[in-house]
Amino acid sequence: DGGITQSPKYLFRKEGQNVTLSCEQNLNHDAMYWYRQDPGQGLRLIYYSQIVNDFQKGDIAEGYSVSREKKESFPLTVTSAQKNPTAFYLCASSMVGDYYEQYFGPGTRLTVT
C-alpha cells in the first residue's frame, strides 16, 4: 500500500533538546511538506521541498531545519531555538506539475516541557 508514514505518533522532550521527526513516503511524489498545527488553528507551512537536495522555507521556518537526501524521506528537526515547539506536526507529499493534491501522514504530536 502506498502512503506516508510519520513516527512516532507521540513524542516527549525536555526543553533545550533538539528532536527529529521522521517522514517517509512511497507514493513516488516529488514534493514534500511540513506543517505545524496548533489547537483551533489552520495548517502553517514550515518547509517544503520539490526536488531532492533542495528545499524552501515556509511561513514559520525559524527554529526548524530539514534535509532531503532521498526522494522518499523528508525529516524535520525541531531545534532548541524554536520558542514554542509543542504542537501537532503533519508531513504531506504531492505530485508536481500536474495535480497538486496533498496526501498527509498521520502526524506526530510533540510535547516539550
Partner 1 sequence: GQNIDQPTEMTATEGAIVQINCTYQTSGFNGLFWYQQHAGEAPTFLSYNVLDGLEEKGRFSSFLSRSKGYSYLLLKELQMKDSASYLCAPLNSNYQLIWGAGTKLIIKP
Assess 100 for contact with partner 1 (CB under 8 A). Answer: yes
Residue tagged 511524489 (cell numbers): 29
Would you give the binding string for partner 1 spanning residues 50-89, x where CB under 8 A is met?
Answer: --------------------------------------x-
Would you give the binding string for partner 1 spanning residues 17-56, x where CB under 8 A is met?
Answer: ------------------x----xxxxxx--x--------
Assess 96 for contact with partner 1 (CB under 8 A). Answer: yes
Buried b (16+ CB within 10 A) or exposed e, 43-66: bebbbbbbeeeebeebeebeebbb
CB closer to partner 1 out of 6 and 82? 6
Size of the site for partner 1 (CB under 8 A): 20
Q: Coil, strand, or helix at residue 96?
A: coil
| Among 99, 75, 94, 74, CA closest to 30 | 94
Among 8, 26, 57, 106, binds partner 1 (CB under 8 A): 106
* Cβ(38)–Cβ(31) below 8 Å: no
Residues facing 10 on adjacent strands: 109
Give the footprint of partner 1 on this chain (CB under 8 A): 35, 40-45, 48, 88, 90, 96, 100-107, 109
